[in-house]
């Protein structure tokens, strides 16, 4: 079972999976909040296929 977790922080979006995938990218929420869905899509396209997704 593959799980990907994403953390939407104030300054970064971070992702990790149970298979070892890790990713972090700058995302200043205060100035780019309108682009959040696009940024999340970019992160998920880089992540491995998953059965479950957790977001904080």
Q: What is the pLDDT of residues 1-56, one digit of tens each?
A: 899 999 999 999 999 999 999 999 999 999 999 999 999 999 999 999 999 999 99
Describe the chain by its helix, strand, coil percentages, rounded to 5.
30, 40, 30
- Return the residue matching tokens 């940024």: 39
- Other C-beta atoms closer than 10 Å to the C-beta of 47 total 19
**pLDDT value, residue 33:** 94
Provide the residue range defining the domain that includes 26.
3-55
The count of structural domains within the chain is: 1
In this structure, are residues 50 and 3 in contact, taking their beta carbons and an 8 Å threshold? yes
pTM > 0.85: yes or no: yes
CA–CA distance, 16 with 13 (Å, rounded to integer): 11
């Amino acid at each position: 079972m593959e799980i990907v977790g994403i953390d939407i922080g104030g300054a970064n979006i971070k992702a990790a999976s149970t298979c070892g995938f890790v990713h972090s990218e700058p995302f200043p929420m205060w100035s780019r909040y309108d682009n959040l869905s696009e940024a999340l899509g970019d992160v998920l396209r880089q992540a491995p296929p998953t059965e479950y997704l957790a977001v904080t």
